[in-house]
Structure 1
Amino acid sequence: MKRATLKFLTLSSLVAIGLLPSISPAAEPLPVVASFSILGDLVQVVGGERVKVTTLVGPDADAHAFEPKPAHAKAILQSRLFVINGLNFEPWAQKLARSANYQGQTLVASHGIKVRKLPLDKGLQHAEADPHGWQDPSNVVVYVKNIAKSLASLDPAGASSYQKNSETYIKELESLDQFTKDQLAPLSLKQRQVITSHDAFGYFAARYQIRFLAPQGINADVEPSAKEVAQLIRQIKRDKIKAVFVENMSNPKLLAQITQDTGVALGPKLYVDALSGPNEPGSTYLKMMHHNVTQLVAGMQRN
């Protein structure tokens, strides 16, 4: 009994003077705020269990029209990293961070991608860049590397974990890119025409040689003129375009009118600026893209 007590005291003493490591509780997850659902998914994939992600603009919600509330400012204030897309996708984000007196790190996830220039029309005369960079999987590789680097700078102990997670995910992105190319390969360039609610597929179109037409242009809040709608209807009839889709966060009324005037059936819902809820086919970035590719190809096959 005395020998056991002596052993316990000796070990305790060694710990106390620093000769043996003490057992410390697990570190708290790194609090991170992502501006919208797609970025939230990417941060969670890279961060894994070492991060706690709060997403401001949730599934099926429009980040363009988002109006922050005090609870959102509080979430940012309590985080150590605020991840935004940039390229004026969330014009409210920096203002929200300033109003919250946020002192943490802000990451512009799109930093380093090759930015697509916007046409100076349809209500965006002052826009300089297409913000929808995630529509090209090769851009998301850049997003993921940026996220891993920022997380590692705030949590050096987790650097190897973030690196491993990002490398694994990048392989999945490369597989997605090849899957898309393989699915599109049988389609002629003439078949590769699609009508969508608003012009959010610019990066996707450039990578995979598809022509997207949208009555609302790149800004879902700007209503097209009657002349623009009439021109689009004439083009659908002339080119016999049957691939017509509405997006999960868009009002389907305009496209419904166009399909009624042209006799073309409206295709399944696509997920573009936001993920779906957990029980829908676009609940993660990879699922969203696979769903969109599958539906787009099926639609273009009818052109």
Structure 2
Amino acid sequence: MPKNRVAPYRKPVAGLLAAALLLIAGCSSAEGGQGSRKRVLTTFTVLADMARAVAGDAVSVESITKPGAEIHEYEPTPSDLRKSAGVDLVLENGLGLERWFDRFVRSANAKRATLSTGVEPIPIRSGQYEGKANPHAWMSPANARIYVRNIVTALTELDPGNAAVFKANAERYEAQLAEIETFLRSELGKLPPAQRALVTCEGAFSYLARDSGLREAYLWPVNSDEEGTPQQIAATVTFVRENSVPAVFCESTVNDKAQQQVARETGAKLGGTLYVDSLSEEGGPVPTYLRLLRYDAETVVAGLTGGAR
């Protein structure tokens, strides 16, 4: 499967940024629609789904990236960049995830809110980003409740007249997140202690592993152009062998070739595709964030216990 990204934390090329500025400058503020709903833009599909759950019909919410996109170093296209014209608010993850978006959004003159504010970050433990915050905090339902509260605050400041709507929607959504958290702990807690090890391509499950009592190993810490090096593969093979891990996994937005090699060398099976950075299209396996969390838990349990999805 071809990769859909460039090296991590690389800034967009100058020509693309210049095109973005021209596009934004050429769009009038009326494009947002006088008297229409407020417009909110999120950096990726997971955040958009969470924001829509809180906003309901009161606010228009759109994602700059499309389902299936790799977000770490996504380069916006001209059509993507047009979405910023006239938006009232941008919701971003933070924790270093969307550095590709910074200069572009500053030029859009929109309010910004960082949804991971208040999350206790887990540091990346290896590679060139060692010590920096792991950005995948949304993979914890407990953290997701922090995201939801930050969304409520941002939307209420944007549209005070709908504050009661946002609060009521958020309360319902937090109840659903609590149910998912119970499900995750229950399902992953069924694993025998020796099988409570999650081996993935990217180190995107640190928060989920922490909350669910799983040991974690991965090939690379952050999606980059240094994926599946001989050193990464050798270290992962050692972990799988020493811990008798029955299955290894890879994420939907990356190439699983290196993980296939780990499986061949250890006798582990490929346990299935996990979703982290993007939802699927409608009709796909994870069209919502809540479904993403449940799907990943079911996939991990089935893979590690020998069950079928």
Instruction: Pick from 106, 110, 133 the counterpart of residue 104 of structure 1.
Output: 110
Q: Determine the C-alpha separation between the residues in 2 that align with 1:247 and 1:187.
A: 21
Alignment match, 2:161: 157
Q: Does 1:29 align with 2:34?
A: no
Q: Determine the C-alpha separation between the residues in 1 that align with 2:195 and 2:306.
A: 8
Tell me the CA shift for residue 29 of structure 1: 2.0
Instruction: Pick from 264, 269, 276 the counterpart of residue 272 of structure 1.
Output: 276
Tell me the CA shift for residue 154 of structure 1: 1.2
Structure 1 unaligned segments of length 5 or more: list them: 1-25
Structure 1 counterpart SS, 2:287? coil
- Aligned-residue identity in percent: 30
- Worse-matched range after superposition: 75-84 or 223-232: 223-232
TM-score (norm 2): 0.84
Alignment match, 1:86: 94
Q: Determine the C-alpha separation between the residues in 2 that align with 1:221 and 1:153.
A: 39
Post-superposition CA distance 1:173-226 (Å, at most 9, x none): 011111111112332332101211110001011111111211122334322431
Q: Does 1:46 align with 2:51?
A: no
Q: Residues 68 and 96 of structure 1 are in contact (CA less than 8 Å); yes or no, is this contact kept in structure 2?
A: no
Q: Residues 193 and 243 of structure 1 are in contact (CA less than 8 Å); yes or no, is this contact kept in structure 2?
A: no
What is the root-mean-square deviation in Å for CA atoms of aligned residues?
1.8
Q: Does 1:140 align with 2:144?
A: yes
Residue type matched to 2:290 in 1? L
Residue type matched to 2:83 in 1? A
Residue type matched to 1:57 in 2? T
Q: Residues 44 and 71 of structure 2 are in contact (CA less than 8 Å); yes or no, is this contact kept in structure 1?
A: yes
With over 3 angstroms needed to count, the CA separation of the structure-2 counterparts of 1:49 and 1:27, relative to structure 1, is farther
Tell me the CA shift for residue 44 of structure 1: 0.8
Alignment match, 1:214: 218
Residue type matched to 1:85 in 2? N
Q: Residues 244 and 265 of structure 1 are in contact (CA less than 8 Å); yes or no, is this contact kept in structure 2?
A: yes
Q: Determine the C-alpha separation between the residues in 1 that align with 2:174 and 2:225.
A: 33
Matches for 1:217-256 after TM superposition, within 5 Å: 217-256=221-260
Structure 2 counterpart SS, 1:266? strand
Post-superposition CA distance 1:238-270 (Å, at most 9, x none): 322112111110111111122122232212211
Tell me the CA shift for residue 51 of structure 1: 1.6
Q: Determine the C-alpha separation between the residues in 1 that align with 2:223 and 2:127.
A: 8
Residue type matched to 2:301 in 1? V
Instruction: Count the aligned residue pairs.
Output: 274
Structure 2 unaligned segments of length 5 or more: list them: 1-33
Tell me the CA shift for residue 84 of structure 1: 0.4
With over 3 angstroms needed to count, the CA separation of the structure-2 counterparts of 1:302 and 1:240, relative to structure 1, is farther
Structure 1 runs (4+) deviating above 4 angstroms are none
TM-score (norm 1): 0.85
Residue type matched to 1:106 in 2? R
Matches for 1:256-267 after TM superposition, within 5 Å: 256-267=260-271
